[in-house]
């Protein structure tokens, strides 16, 4: 077994332990949330004799763009509960950088590129 095989084996062992520990933590969190009050949305803190426990209830909201377009004129535009955001198109950026470098150089300063954490997946053979 090479050193990398040894590391891969250790990775699998630790990953299995991690799954067990996460499952234990989730079970404990479930018991805590049953014992303490939580808000329907937002956070609430509980001061216990030895700990402070904060329960946070996130709520996500999505908008159906087609349905929104049909109803948006029913309320004033300054009260529209939607955000329009501009985001980078990774595939478009890569294409321009690789295939059209002169065009990319004209706009590149408007973009920030940052590498993320390298993902590792190990499977036993």
- Same domain as 81, residue 54: no
Q: Please report the pLDDT score of residue 1 as a whole number.
A: 55
Q: Please report the pLDDT score of residue 123 as a whole number.
A: 85
Residue 119, in any domain of the structure? no
Q: Please report the pLDDT score of residue 125 as a whole number.
A: 82
Rounded distance between C-alpha atoms, residue 100 and residue 61, angstroms: 38
Tokens of 79: 């009260």
**Mean pLDDT, 10 residues at a time, the chain of 125 residues:** 88 97 97 96 95 96 96 96 95 97 97 92 86
Predicted TM-score (pTM) of the model is 0.72
42: left (phi over 0), alpha (psi -120 to 50) or beta: left
- Same domain as 15, residue 41: yes
What is the domain extent for residue 87? 62-112
The answer to whether the beta carbons of residues 44 and 54 sit under 8 Å apart is yes
- Same domain as 22, residue 32: yes
- Same domain as 67, residue 16: no
- Same domain as 55, residue 93: no
């Amino acid at each position: 077994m090479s050193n990398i095989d040894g590391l891969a084996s250790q990775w699998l062992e630790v990953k299995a332990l991690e799954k067990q520990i996460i499952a234990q933590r989730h079970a404990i969190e479930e018991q805590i949330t049953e014992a303490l009050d939580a808000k329907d949305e937002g956070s609430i803190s509980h001061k216990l004799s030895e700990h402070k426990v904060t329960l946070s209830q996130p709520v996500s909201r999505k908008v159906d763009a087609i349905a929104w377009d049909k109803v948006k004129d029913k309320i004033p535009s300054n009260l529209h509960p939607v955000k329009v955001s501009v985001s980078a198109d990774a595939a478009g950026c890569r294409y321009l950088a690789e295939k059209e470098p002169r065009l990319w150089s004209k706009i590149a300063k408007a973009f920030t590129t940052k590498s993320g954490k390298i993902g590792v997946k190990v499977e036993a053979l």
